[in-house]
Chains A and B, each alone.
Chain A
Amino acid sequence: MRKWVLAAAIAAAAVPVSAQTVTEGATVAAIRQKNELACGVSTGASPGMSTLDDRGNWAGFEVEFCRAVAAALLGDAARVRFVPLEFRNAFTALQSGAVDMLARSATWTYLRDSELRFDMPAIYLYDGQGFLVRKSLNVAAARGLDGATICVSSGTTTELNLADWFRTHRMRYTPVVSAAREQNIANLEAGRCDAYTNERGGLAANRAALPKPDDYVVLPDVISKEPLGPYVRQDDPRFRDIVGWTLHALVAAEEFGLTQANVAEAARSHASPEVGRLLGRTGEFGAKLGLANDWALKAITAVGSYGEMFDRNLGAGSRIGLDRGPNRLWNQGGLLYAPPFR
């Protein structure tokens, strides 16, 4: 009798599980159905980009961008679930559908676009890789790091760029590879490594968070291009457009001089017809993406313009004081260029 029960139990467990295929438009539909945007961010220790305080509040540039997307798509900036991800799990989480988008300081690369089937709808930070060294080592430029020991995060483009750069310049180095940024900083402080390599924005932020920031300096060399932006899966072009145009709306807001404070008034009475289309006063632009007409208004009300978002988290208004560099508007010598709203 018991043998038959066992056999029946195994047979029951073998009931076929239907293969879940992901169809086009599924991401937006899933977000609307849950009424929540699942946003993959760092583990909360990335100053300026995504940090978690002791009360469970998320803050940072990437965190605010997620809120802007939620405001545009769902009408409410608070409808975001932040999923803290270690870098090594981030891509798998996006591939498998555990998160809807990644805002995790990931660089746009050819391989990630092609092999991992990801899209970067727009770039929110034009960064580059650099080195953070102790001033007492008297290293003026990266060329002086021949034979040095360098801390780097495992599995990142920075690890590969470091290897490529030293190979190109025929210099030697010893890598100390850690999975977490905190471990790298601890190693740098203890003298385990001579330099720490990462995106320069991240280096400036980490330096500001050190106990003695003046003992360290970010070297002037930029050894690679690191265009950072949100990643989405390739299966939902509509969601990709929404994420991309949310960023373009924030950049356009800075171009038109809109701020968190004056955008409500501008929605009613700004002279420029393009602003009128952007903020939903005229035209039916929202409906073309499946959004409410005031999607951009909601996004700008939630986080302000791109310039405000940068200043508050990374720039003059924050502890980090990062220079905007190439992250200025195109007509001010930078690379930020929003396509026209027409």
Chain B
Amino acid sequence: MPRGAIAVQLLVLAVAALAAGLLLRNVAANLQARGMASGFDFLGREAGFAIGFALIPYDEASSYGRALLVGLLNTLLAAGLALVLATALGLLVGIGRLATHLPSRVAAAGFVGLLRNVPLLLLVLFWHGAVVQALPGVRQALSLFGVVFLSNRGLVLPAPVPDPGRAWLAGAALIALLAGIAARRLGRRRSSWLAFAAAAILLLAAPAWDVPSLSGFNFRGGITLVPELVSLVAALSLYNAAFIAEIVRGGINAVPRGQIEAATSMGLPPGLRMRLVVLPQAMRAIVPPLANQYSHLIKASSLATVIGYPDLVNVFLGTTLNQTGRAIEVVAITMAIFLLLSAAMAGATAAWNMHVAIPER
């Protein structure tokens, strides 16, 4: 590189660092002048508030740091579920848009057209309203076999409680799973399904189940999936599925027609043609925009604040910020977390992209 170019780059870097330093100094001076407390020590203080849905044990005496963790796990849960559902649904709808069967094509086109053009916020509110209003109250909950209950307070499932007396069943399940994998390797597919089924049954029998029962105001025992989680996941999945469908459609259209004609002339039925020839080649064009969509999905999960799902933004940026008043620290931590999540997603998708890329000659 010519020497002049290096000098210019160093100069630009120095000026940018100077600007950043002055900005930070300005912020610190303003905080000092207004007497606003700063520092991250608040993370160790007792939170004092309860959270309605937490994946790890949490009560009012836990610290703000633990509340942050609870919110983060809730965000990851909602985003993760929505990601899987959106991809599966988007794949189906995308392929459906290119189907030869006219009703499928029209239905898929209608799905995409409707959901792409409605703001996500409205979808979230609609689903929350629909779920909360349409489901019966807790005393009239719908029940499945008397162990699973659905009401507008949520879906209550039996909770597995580890039972040391029956731990050997879990061991047996593991053996059955390994046997199934071995059978697959040996080419005995039917036996392998049998082994997997046995493993599933043994695994279900292993723990003691805490069955929910209605007492007083709510169900006691079991795991409750709050309706806010369900409505958020539903809205996120449908909205992103519409976009993923278009991405998939674009990717499939990008596969050269010659490939499809060659596959047809070899006698491959449409199902195998799609699975073995078209989709693997379409992945090259699908994966980069898909990474984009996933990154958007993770950030869009912050709409949970609107319906009261205790995700990271609601618990940390909402409640904790108001209780402690440390606006800058809380916002900085939240932004850093989202940045890390998006970067991790980008990294994972880049690795996947390299895996599906067709090597150039």
**Chain A residues in the interface with B (C-beta under 8 A):** 3-4, 6-7, 10-11, 13-14, 16-17, 19-22, 87-88, 91-92, 95-96, 112, 115-117, 137, 145-149, 154-156, 159-160, 162-164, 167, 173-179, 183, 186-187, 190-192, 194, 233-235
Q: Beyond A10-B19, A174-B218, A190-B132, is A155–B33 a contact (Cβ under 8 Å)?
A: no
Our pick among A22, A91, A187 for the contact of B325 (Cβ within 8 Å) is: A91
Contact B152 A155 (CB under 8 A): no
Contact A147 B16 (CB under 8 A): no
Bound complex: CA A11 to CA B13 (Å): 10
Is B323 located at the chain interface by the 8 A CB criterion?
Answer: yes
B interface: dominant SS: helix
Contact A10 B12 (CB under 8 A): yes
Bound complex: CA A163 to CA B51 (Å): 10
Contact B325 A17 (CB under 8 A): no
Within the complex, what minimum Cβ distance (angstroms) separates A98 from chain B? Answer: 12
Is B305 located at the chain interface by the 8 A CB criterion?
Answer: yes
Which residues of chain A come closer than 8 Å to B60, judged between CB atoms?
A: 163-164, 167
Our pick among B22, B23, B138, B305 for the contact of A179 (Cβ within 8 Å) is: B305
One digit per residue, 1 when the CB lies within 8 angstroms of any chain A CB and 0 when it does not, for chain B 199-232 equals 0000000000000000111101000000100000
Within the complex, what minimum Cβ distance (angstroms) separates A274 from chain B? Answer: 37
Query: Can you list 8 contacts pairing A with B, beta carbon distance less than 8 Å?
Result: A19-B30, A117-B36, A149-B153, A154-B322, A159-B319, A178-B307, A192-B153, A235-B34
Closest 10 CB pairs of A and B: A155-B322, A14-B19, A19-B29, A191-B137, A178-B308, A148-B217, A21-B33, A163-B60, A117-B35, A147-B216
Q: Beyond A14-B15, A92-B327, A194-B217, is A183–B322 a contact (Cβ under 8 Å)?
A: no
Contact B35 A10 (CB under 8 A): no
In the complex, besides A160-B48, A186-B132, A191-B138, 6 extra interface pairs with C-beta distance below 8 angstroms are A148-B216, A148-B218, A154-B308, A178-B307, A190-B132, A235-B35
Is B11 located at the chain interface by the 8 A CB criterion?
Answer: yes
Is B310 located at the chain interface by the 8 A CB criterion?
Answer: yes
Bound complex: CA A234 to CA B51 (Å): 33
Is B182 located at the chain interface by the 8 A CB criterion?
Answer: no
Contact B318 A154 (CB under 8 A): yes
Which residues of chain A come closer than 8 Å to B323, judged between CB atoms?
A: 155, 160
Nearest chain A residue, comparing its CB with the CB of B129: A186
Which residues of chain A come closer than 8 Å to B344, judged between CB atoms?
A: none
